[in-house]
Structure 1
Amino acid sequence: MVDSPDELSRVFQALADPTRREILSRLRDGSMTVGALAEPFAMSRPAISQHLKVLERAGLIERTASAQWRTCTLRTEPLDEASAWVDRHRGEWAERFDLLDERLRELKGKTDA
């Protein structure tokens, strides 16, 4: 669960990268091994490992080890919290854009006259 602004920042930082978003998308159907996750990406295993570390620090995945297998599982709680944060601010943003739109119409009306 995202409890502090720093945790929320880590979630948004993790989501900012297209490779990490694709990894999360691949995990939505269930857990996968690191090898299976890395398969479609044209990058080294250490690079994939770095992406997984970012996702794990953000709380978006959980990694487990069983014998030689490393498995990743999606954790949706941080995504739910990030979505809730956006929803809380959406109304304020919409209101500000509406005020800006109204002001621009007023200014345009003055220049047309």
Structure 2
Amino acid sequence: MVVSDRYTHQSITPKGKIERFRAKFVRLRENLKFLLAILLKNIPGYSEDEIQKLQIMLLKTTFFTDEMDFHLRGEIPFEVADEVDAAYFHFYQRSRTEVTGLLHELCPDHYFIW
């Protein structure tokens, strides 16, 4: 099955779709690691609960990235990936929005790659 990329209208295979989405999760994970490194330096105003929430987000991001690796190695059929695609996308959008807000608050002059 081949789907069309909504931005370039080029054909993209299920494997290509997963590879692109995996790259987004890797960047989210790296930005989360950066954010946690800053917050763990005991910046005032951030509670232990907020830090723990970000650590859980990091664990989920790592889990989803690993799951995408299973798909790319062929251990899980690509058809199954379509079923969980919406869950990945929802988690990614929600997490990215939250992390972006915190990063811009803590590092307003830094440009982050998504």
TM-score by length of 1: 0.29
Say which structure is richer in strand: 1
| Structure exhibiting the larger radius of gyration computed from Cα positions | 1
